[in-house]
Amino acid sequence: MHETLSYLPQILPAYIAYIVAVISPGPAIMAIVSTSMVHGRKAGMTISLGIFAGSFTWACAAALGLATILNTYAVALEILKIFGGLYLLYLAYKAFKAVRANPDIKQATTPKNMSTRALLLRGYGIHVTNPKAIFAWLAIIALGMPQGAPASVAGLIVGICLTTGFIVFMGYAVLFSTPQALKIYSSLRRWIEGAMAAFYCFAGLKLLTSRI
């Protein structure tokens, strides 16, 4: 356990990157927001649970795959670092563009009268097929797990990030089931997008310039 905790300085930037990623508006968050606003809190929390299941799927796949590959091929880490860094810079570019955009959350719609099972599958499908979710997990684990780190480090990253993700997803469902939520979010959207873009840029450059 002490050996795992010694990697906290590397894990912290990865955790911050995850927080920025998980709170940023995207298909999953828009699905939670629209479902909560249209169908209420229970439906919003149900689709959030499906989205969390999709996040859990990719988190485990990324952690298990990296734990095996990085212990065998050092060049795989270099390739992953480059790929992850470029992807984070791409997200920074998208976020900078979003600062100038003016999306209307009210335009997000959700099919009515969906069953619990349908909502769960919808949330899972949205997240498990989202390239941002797939590659963000690879970038996050690569950022926080240097070569030679034990598999428990990947487990710790996944554990704390998934716990945070569950809280955030459910929090969005609760928050956006209130009538005042849309007005508050709209007034802060540019600040959120600006901070997100700046950190993605920082994390991407850090990943690209870090040594193996």
Q: Answer whether residue 88 is part of any domain.
A: yes
| In contact, 133 and 19? CB cutoff 8 Å | no
Q: Answer whether residue 4 is part of any domain.
A: no
Q: Answer whether residue 5 is part of any domain.
A: no
pTM of the model: 0.68
Q: What is the pLDDT of residues 9-55, one digit of tens each?
A: 778 888 888 888 888 777 788 888 878 877 788 999 999 999 999 99
Q: What is the mean pLDDT of residues 164-171?
A: 95
Q: Answer whether residue 50 is part of any domain.
A: yes
| Domain total in the chain | 1
Question: How far apart, in Å, are the Cα atoms of 110 and each of 23, 32, 123, 147?
Answer: 20, 10, 11, 43
Q: Answer whether residue 65 is part of any domain.
A: yes
| pLDDT exceeds 60 at position 127 | yes
CA dist., res. 122 & res. 192, Å (int): 26
Q: Answer whether residue 1 is part of any domain.
A: no
| pLDDT exceeds 80 at position 122 | yes
Q: Which domain holds residue 93?
A: 11-209
* Count of residues in the chain: 212
CA dist., res. 115 & res. 194, Å (int): 37
Work out the mean pLDDT of the chain and round it to a whole number. Answer: 78
Q: What is the mean pLDDT of residues 184-195?
A: 71
CA dist., res. 60 & res. 78, Å (int): 21
